[in-house]
Amino acid sequence: MTQRLLEVDSCGALLRRARMEDMPDAAKIHRIAFFTAMPHMPVLHTPEEDLNFYTTGVFISSEVWVAEFDDVLAGVIACRDGLLQHLYVIPKCQRQGIGSSLLSVAKSMSDSLRVWTFQCNEGARNFYEKHGFRVVQRSNGARNEERQPDMMYVWEREPSSESQPSARA
């Protein structure tokens, strides 16, 4: 993905590639958004462990973008090989177009995306379905850290009309 800066029309946030110095805020956004959406989830990691995960794992191995509003990070997205690993927006900035704009960045990188979300996360499920994702798999949670039922969504780019063979009379 090329280095670029995009403006989010709906609220004036800027989208840009993440920098290492963004990782403390990205880890905080992840934690706040996760537990706001699903307060009943088990707390498995400390904030320090979250930061280590972002600095030594997510940032190093993924394409990470952030949404910045008035010099404050409002959202983060991380993708690798068509897998949407993380998409979090701080709760007070949700439903303002930030998540949709971050998702557009991810969609521009790939012809298809996969994402796992917890079955209990109705907000995330509604968001992905609104953006053209469809459920392709459900699990009982045996393979995730939280041991909570989850589901995989897939989005695939629609073939453009230019790539379709033309009809002949």
For the chain, the DSSP string reads ----EEE-TTT--EEEE--GGGHHHHHHHHHHHHHHH-TTS---S-HHHHHHHIIIIIHHHSEEEEEEETTEEEEEEEEETTEEEEEEE-GGGTTSSHHHHHHHHHHHH-SEEEEEEETT-HHHHHHHHHTT-EEEEEE-STTSTT---EEEEEEEPPPPGGGSPPP--
Calculate mean pLDDT across residues 67-78: 92
Is 112 inside a domain boundary? yes
Number of domains in the chain: 1
pLDDT for residue 3: 44
Average pLDDT, the chain: 89
Residue 117 has pLDDT above 60, yes or no: yes
pLDDT in tens, 4-49: 445 444 567 899 999 999 999 999 999 999 999 999 999 999 999 9
Confidence of residue 151 (pLDDT cuts 50, 70, 90): very high
Task: Name the residue range of residue 103's domain.
Answer: 5-158
Confidence (pTM)? 0.87
23-27, 50-54, 160-164: segment of lowest average pLDDT: 160-164
Residue 162 pLDDT level (bands cut at 50, 70, 90) = low
pLDDT score of 169 more than 80: no
Residue 169 in domain: no
Percent of the chain whose pLDDT exceeds 70: 88
CA distance 161 to 165: 8
The answer to whether position 12 is within a domain reads yes
pLDDT at 12: 74
| Residue 168 in domain | no
Establish if 167 belongs to a structural domain: no
Give the CATH number for residue 47: 3.40.630.30
Examine residue 165 and state whether it is found in any structural domain, yes or no. no
